[in-house]
């Protein structure tokens, strides 16, 4: 199966009897077109592939049309509450570009976020030494783990719903030096730059999509390594995510998941929280009927928020082999 045949139209796939009907897409300029008549835009090299692209654009148009701005200009536009609009977007990019690429950023991140994502990056890099044909990461954000997975895969697909992060991931993987605004305190920022360097991945070996991790436009069973890091507690329906991971994983393939299980009512209902006081045990038990647990660990993960503020997590990590 070629890379172009991995991505399908999310709008017209359906069950016909016991068979799943899928259509691949044809690129014409900055559009992907399906024989069903649906068309999807490609912006900054990133296709927006969603069942309801209009609804997404109504809520996320800012992320699609925003551009790189100098820190002093960004500060003037970052008005209103911290959790709305452009301020929220700037904060998201500052946090996750530092988390993913801080060890390759100039200047390096300051403040108390020592370690950052280093332990989880090393775990994925180590696993990538065992080569596979195809890998996919759901919730790829700024793209560091896509780059690490590409070291041990012929082709990697990264999926994330936050377009602004995926657009920068696309540029970083292409070998560009990417500027971003690192938050210092409040609406004050300092210019930073990140570059993938030797982790750059040729475009023909890495596909990045702005899509829903709970409904990825990908051929089922096509991936030998399926990854979802710190995503379980960031989606509205974690059990649906588990079904998606299982559906994408080829027989004999592996799943890598990690999460601090930092449930938040802004993301999901109380009824969707898994496992009560021991979510790690519940998640492990969920998979054990169909998967062998090959590795399990507690891994630190620190996110820098501002120059004097960081949030430290411990992530429960599982590597699972499909029986």
pLDDT of residue 6: 94
pLDDT of residue 154: 97
Spatial distance between the Cα atoms of 43 and 61, rounded to a whole number of angstroms = 12
* Average pLDDT of the chain to the nearest whole number: 94
Spatial distance between the Cα atoms of 247 and 46, rounded to a whole number of angstroms = 24
Q: Is pLDDT of 283 > 90? A: yes
Spatial distance between the Cα atoms of 244 and 222, rounded to a whole number of angstroms = 12
Strand partners, 301: 313
**Strand ranges for 161-288 from DSSP E:** 177-185, 188-195, 206-210, 223-229, 249-259
Give 78's pLDDT tier (boundaries 50, 70, 90).
Answer: confident
Do the beta carbons of residue 207 and residue 155 sit within 8 Å?
yes
Write phi, then psi, for 105 (nearest 5 degrees).
-105, 155
Region 265-286 average pLDDT: 96
Q: Is pLDDT of 62 > 90? A: no
Q: Is pLDDT of 1 > 70? A: no
**Alpha carbon 236 to its chain's center:** 15
pLDDT of residue 215: 96
Region 90-100 average pLDDT: 96
For the beta sheet containing 132-138, the strands, ordered from the edge strand earlier in sequence to the opposite edge, are 206-210, 153-160, 132-138, 223-229, 249-259, 309-322, 291-306
Cα angle 321, 316, 281; round to 5 = 75
Helix (H, G, I), strand (E, B) or coil at 85: helix
pLDDT of residue 80: 78
Region 188-207 average pLDDT: 96
For the beta sheet containing 39-43, the strands, ordered from the edge strand earlier in sequence to the opposite edge, are 26-28, 31-33, 39-43, 46-47
pLDDT of residue 170: 98
What percent of the chain lies above the pLDDT cut of 70?
Answer: 99
Q: Is pLDDT of 113 > 70? A: yes
Give 311's pLDDT tier (boundaries 50, 70, 90).
Answer: very high
> Where do the structural domains in the chain lie, given as residue ranges?
45-322
pLDDT of residue 14: 84
CATH of span 45-322: 3.40.50.150
Region 121-141 average pLDDT: 98
Region 116-131 average pLDDT: 96
Q: Model's pTM, two decimal places? A: 0.95
pLDDT of residue 190: 96
Q: Is pLDDT of 85 > 90? A: no
Q: Is pLDDT of 17 > 80? A: no
Give 2's pLDDT tier (boundaries 50, 70, 90).
Answer: low
Q: Is pLDDT of 260 > 80? A: yes
């Amino acid at each position: 199966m070629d890379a172009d045949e991995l991505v399908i139209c999310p709008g017209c796939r359906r069950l016909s009897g016991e068979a799943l009907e899928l259509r691949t897409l044809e690129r014409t300029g900055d559009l992907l077109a399906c024989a069903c008549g649906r068309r999807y835009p490609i912006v900054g090299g990133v296709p927006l592939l969603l069942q309801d692209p209009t609804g997404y654009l109504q809520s996320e148009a800012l992320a699609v049309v925003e551009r790189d701005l100098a820190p002093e200009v960004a500060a003037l536009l970052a008005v209103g509450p911290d959790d709305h609009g452009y301020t929220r977007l700037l904060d998201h990019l500052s946090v996750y570009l530092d988390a993913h690429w801080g060890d390759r950023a100039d200047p390096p991140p300051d403040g108390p976020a020592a370690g950052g994502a280093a332990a989880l990056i090393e775990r994925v890099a180590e696993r990538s030494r065992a080569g596979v044909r195809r890998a996919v990461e759901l919730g790829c954000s700024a793209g560091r783990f896509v780059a690490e997975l590409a070291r041990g895969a012929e082709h990697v697909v990264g999926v994330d719903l936050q377009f602004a992060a995926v657009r920068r991931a696309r540029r970083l993987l292409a070998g560009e030096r990417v500027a971003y605004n690192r938050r210092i305190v409040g609406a004050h920022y300092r210019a930073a730059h990140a570059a993938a360097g030797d982790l750059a991945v040729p475009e023909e070996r890495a596909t990045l999509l702005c899509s829903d991790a709970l409904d990825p436009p990908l051929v089922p069973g096509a991936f030998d390594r399926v990854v979802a890091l710190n995503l379980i507690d960031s989606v509205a329906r974690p059990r649906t995510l588990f079904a998606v991971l299982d559906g994408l994983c080829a027989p004999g393939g592996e799943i890598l998941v990690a999460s601090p299980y930092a449930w938040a009512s802004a993301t999901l209902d109380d009824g969707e929280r898994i496992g009560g006081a021991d979510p790690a045990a519940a998640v492990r038990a969920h998979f054990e009927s169909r998967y062998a647990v090959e590795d399990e660990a507690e891994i630190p993960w620190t996110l820098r928020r501002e120059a004097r503020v960081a949030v430290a997590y411990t992530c429960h990590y599982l590597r699972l082999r499909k029986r």
